[in-house]
Amino acid sequence: MSDKKLEALRTFARTLIENRGKATKADLQDFFDAGYSDVQALEVILGLAIKLMSNFTNSIADTPLD
């Protein structure tokens, strides 16, 4: 991604997904160095949690795909 800040966001979110929520201090520092804050790190976690809840709910409700 050509935008370094958006790339840091993508990388941080993917790290959390791939490592089941575990980010190293270096992962967090890279995110912060790109211009993000502690609050924004929590917002990424919130976004991932909402997506997980939606996926699980749709799975047990057998929601048809659009």
Report pLDDT digits (tens) over 45-64: 999 999 999 999 999 999 99
Q: For residues 38 and 32, what is the distance between their CA atoms, to the nearest angstrom?
A: 8
Mean pLDDT of 32-53: 97
pLDDT number for residue 65: 85
Q: Quick one: pLDDT at residue 66?
A: 79
Distances (CA, A) of 62 to 26, 51, 52, 54, 65: 40, 16, 15, 12, 9
Is the pLDDT at 1 greater than 80? The verdict is no
Q: Mean pLDDT for the chain?
A: 96
Determine the pLDDT at residue 12: 98
